[in-house]
Structure 1
């Protein structure tokens, strides 16, 4: 996104709107003045230093003599073309795709140039049309959804050699990334082997998807078991190499945690980085346990310490990729339980008390996305199927299956299960419960409302001894 956007920012194209047309609906009262103003002198803070430095650079940029500008444009052009997938995508996400196409257009590429044609075809694949409405998705998540759905089906009792699961497993293995991507900049010694989020994204596999997929592949039986195990070993090697020095895992990179960079004016979303997070690390611990890793393994010990050091004072954990503290707490408890941590230890008891204390009167759990901006709202919000399932999964992992809070949560899911309509037999929620950029950008995964409740109810049934309670 950033590299092609530098071309757009440099050339500053303008599209004149017809009289009476504007884009005022994109702005709120807070956006009246979008200028960055320092609150002190240079060097009194990183923020102030970067603001003054930004002003200085922009002043220099107004000079007509730019001896390196053509060379810079050529390098951006080359980089953009090299990062286009064979199918036309860039990074598998809409912002990168649109900005890359815009940059190429500004650099003189015609609309019928092969790179632009393929790029527009990729954009078209992100469009949805239903009931006379047309909208664009920010991204698609087929590997992520397939792996979690398959794990939920396995939890529900579907046989490990069921044709649907075997078909999904073989498809996923064939989507494995075996090409070096931008992650090699900070991790040059590792061989590729992870999985990405989208259909087409060879340069940016992520650790979260890779862990969820390895959880799934470990549980299924396919005809060519040697092939499965060899590809899983390749993925495991890559995933272990992506652990940061702090002991945690980020989603896409290693040690991408220089918080000072979020003070650059351009980084106003405070999401320029990909630091290690407890939710991703918890899922990876969960996966490692299923592949035979023990607490004594050095990388496991570092991950456990990373997680414990980041528990909030009231007992919960932050969720970077799901809203929010309910999500983080669920994944941490599952990971620590699976790897063999004592669920009667103080850290677990504090987390259990936090989940109990944030259950809604209807028996469910919910958390507004505003909790990223207002910590007092964490764990608070309208009950949703996915967030209720996360809370239940966390409590069940903490050996609380007989807790009355769990019984009430299970009852909530059963009573809100639909018995008619498009989602008959499943659940529906209007809320966005996943996170792109905290505070600024949230996602609704339409599968979350289906497979997480199934997973929670299945594990409850197993934890309760298979009773029909």
Structure 2
């Protein structure tokens, strides 16, 4: 196949004029969305467990009010699907744990179990095996409100906090998001608090599928038999490890536990960010607040107060069809969004002398990280630098954000900022031994954490990934470091990571379209020839994945079902990712590229953006997904601009 043979001969001057007009509208939309301080932040949409757990946390802390309960319940009801379920992503399958948590939140809000919408939800729960089959984290929430016995959960000994940093199964064997969550959960396991709700959810248990919900045998739900675990122990080692943890938790030395609780409290408090959050993300935030409260801190304690005030800034309130609604963002992405916006604007020809760009450059420069965080455990001699994901999570800068910030500053001609060099040095210091890069930590690849019985939800370690490594390799190449040993090792890592079908796995975006759209530009930038086999195989995979309408899409089911790779309804962000890969590979004149560009132009909204209800961001592959509301704009801008610049 040659580029000439695949050239789309239908595109004429009128087509290029339409393409240019679409780009101008999209840039105008970006200009309109910029905050006066210089940053961009699209909403980060997840699923209703955020809102359900918010109400449960407020009940636990004794601060739940009528207004937030009513508005939040209205939002949860509005997200229920016709079959009675709630899902983890738009158009996804019914999710048992999400449905259980939503149901419980609505019961807490006063909805009767006989209400039609709860009857439908209950039928879904029963069809999926009952609350007994829900994930461990859902059953932890049930235990916190007296609806599940603590002693029927996998043990999480708080003494883990006392293990040396480099010791197997220390908290630093876990990814940063996991360790920040596990430490406060371990405190809660040790103290076993329970705040009764004055209701039960007996009707959700498969063993007792009643509908009254008025009594709870044994005082803790109606689970009379041991539940089948969501992820049963796969090996004798895992079963033995779970039993050993249970035995230790039952027979721990009292003095050691008191020491561990004090150490855990200090550890948690030391990791609170300036905005009151923990890591800027929902799981460690809510568990830390509850753990500190269980340890005796009142809600007006300075640490608690700062945490609750910060939590309010993650709240979105707006009118709804049946009245005002309230929802929560699991995290916020201003640094990431602003970096991507700068890349896009640089692609579109804007430079640092444009006032919009200048404001963004200045804001990003002020967000550089100058303090050491948990990453220093594995890299004790590395100087701080780089950028984080959010406004204030300074203790957890990440490699991906840093690479994109440097790329963005480079694109607009602002790579001379002093922080750029420090950021590159920090990223180089975070390279793993195998040549790849992970998001937050180096060498965070132990297999032990995944063997623990309570780790049944989400990734718990942070190994190198193709998308992060690709962004770093591209950044190194574009800043004149493409022939360094680090860049060559990253290139070789990417070549080894290519899948047999020619694609690359996307850890932080959905999924192989994201990974392939990142890997191809990186490999080309670092010197892999466009005609070489890895590039042509990646191009062939993208071309085969193109939809009949000209766009690209990949449903999140592909994380669990390989047959779904590259399959799904076309979206603006995924179409742009595929186009960026094909354009980098020199296929700008191909029919596939022109059809993809035409899809973007024809689906653009009047305001210059694109509609995208699908989730194309990934928190935990297979478990937790994100709709980044700015993805649908920044990536199409880059794709349109690079296409127009190609002259095809």
Q: Same fold (TM over 0.5)?
A: yes
- What SS does structure 1 have at the residue aligned with 2:254? coil
Alignment counterpart, residue 240 of structure 1, candidates 413, 428, 439: 428
For 2:632 and 2:202, locate their aligned partners in 1 and report how far apart those are by CA, in whole Å: 37
Could you say if the C-alpha distance between residues 38 and 195 of structure 1 is closer, same or farther in structure 2, counting changes exceeding 3 Å? Answer: closer
For 2:341 and 2:231, locate their aligned partners in 1 and report how far apart those are by CA, in whole Å: 44
Task: Look up the match of 2:438.
Answer: 250
RMSD: 1.9
**More contact order relative to length (CA 8 Å, sep ≥ 6):** 2
Counterpart mapping for 1:273-288 below 5 A: 273-288=461-476
Task: Look up the match of 1:194.
Answer: 386
Task: Look up the match of 1:138.
Answer: 330
For 1:306 and 1:9, locate their aligned partners in 2 and report how far apart those are by CA, in whole Å: 40
Deviation, 1:86, is 2.6
Counterpart mapping for 1:108-127 below 5 A: 108-127=296-315
For 2:203 and 2:439, locate their aligned partners in 1 and report how far apart those are by CA, in whole Å: 34
Deviation, 1:387, is 0.3
TM-score (norm 1): 0.91
For structure 2, list consecutive stretches of 5 or more residues without a partner in the other structure: 1-180, 210-225
- What SS does structure 2 have at the residue aligned with 1:111? coil
Alignment counterpart, residue 3 of structure 1, candidates 144, 165, 183: 183
Task: Look up the match of 1:42.
Answer: none
For 1:196 and 1:159, locate their aligned partners in 2 and report how far apart those are by CA, in whole Å: 23
Alignment counterpart, residue 378 of structure 1, candidates 555, 565, 587: 565
Deviation, 1:17, is 2.4
Deviation, 1:60, is 3.3
> Is this contact kept in 2: 1:333–1:397, CA < 8 A?
yes
Task: Look up the match of 2:509.
Answer: 322
For 2:600 and 2:623, locate their aligned partners in 1 and report how far apart those are by CA, in whole Å: 29
Task: Look up the match of 2:640.
Answer: 457
For 2:518 and 2:230, locate their aligned partners in 1 and report how far apart those are by CA, in whole Å: 39
> Is this contact kept in 2: 1:323–1:433, CA < 8 A?
yes
> Is this contact kept in 2: 1:388–1:409, CA < 8 A?
yes
Counterpart mapping for 1:404-443 below 5 A: 404-419=591-606, 424-443=607-626
Q: Is residue 347 of structure 2 the alignment partner of residue 155 of structure 1?
A: yes
Task: Look up the match of 1:43.
Answer: none
Could you say if the C-alpha distance between residues 8 and 163 of structure 1 is closer, same or farther in structure 2, counting changes exceeding 3 Å? Answer: same
Alignment counterpart, residue 244 of structure 2, candidates 53, 56, 62: 56
Task: Look up the match of 1:14.
Answer: 194
Deviation, 1:174, is 0.8
- What SS does structure 1 have at the residue aligned with 2:625? strand
For 2:334 and 2:384, locate their aligned partners in 1 and report how far apart those are by CA, in whole Å: 20
Alignment counterpart, residue 398 of structure 1, candidates 585, 595, 601: 585
Q: Is residue 372 of structure 2 the alignment partner of residue 184 of structure 1?
A: no
- Residues 96-118 of structure 1: per-residue CA shift (max 9 Å, x gap): 11111011000000111000000
For 1:37 and 1:356, locate their aligned partners in 2 and report how far apart those are by CA, in whole Å: 39
Counterpart mapping for 1:251-400 below 5 A: 251-269=439-457, 271-295=459-483, 297-400=484-587
For 2:332 and 2:343, locate their aligned partners in 1 and report how far apart those are by CA, in whole Å: 19
For structure 1, list consecutive stretches of 5 or more residues without a partner in the other structure: 40-46
Could you say if the C-alpha distance between residues 83 and 200 of structure 1 is closer, same or farther in structure 2, counting changes exceeding 3 Å? Answer: same
Alignment counterpart, residue 81 of structure 1, candidates 269, 275, 278: 269
Task: Look up the match of 2:116.
Answer: none
Alignment counterpart, residue 167 of structure 1, candidates 348, 353, 359: 359
Deviates more, 1:205-214 or 1:145-154: 145-154
- What SS does structure 2 have at the residue aligned with 1:134? strand
> Is this contact kept in 1: 2:347–2:411, CA < 8 A?
no
Deviation, 1:220, is 3.3
For 2:346 and 2:188, locate their aligned partners in 1 and report how far apart those are by CA, in whole Å: 48
User: Whose Rg is larger?
Assistant: 2
- What SS does structure 2 have at the residue aligned with 1:128? strand
For 2:202 and 2:614, locate their aligned partners in 1 and report how far apart those are by CA, in whole Å: 29
For 1:151 and 1:447, locate their aligned partners in 2 and report how far apart those are by CA, in whole Å: 13
- What SS does structure 1 have at the residue aligned with 2:316? strand
Task: Look up the match of 2:128.
Answer: none
- What SS does structure 1 have at the residue aligned with 2:618? strand
For 1:141 and 1:211, locate their aligned partners in 2 and report how far apart those are by CA, in whole Å: 15
For 1:171 and 1:334, locate their aligned partners in 2 and report how far apart those are by CA, in whole Å: 27
Deviation, 1:217, is 1.6
Deviation, 1:8, is 1.1
Deviation, 1:67, is 2.5
TM-score (norm 2): 0.66
Q: What is the aligned residue count? A: 445
Deviation, 1:349, is 0.7
Deviates more, 1:259-268 or 1:236-245: 259-268
- What SS does structure 2 have at the residue aligned with 1:364? coil
Could you say if the C-alpha distance between residues 102 and 163 of structure 1 is closer, same or farther in structure 2, counting changes exceeding 3 Å? Answer: same
Deviation, 1:330, is 0.6
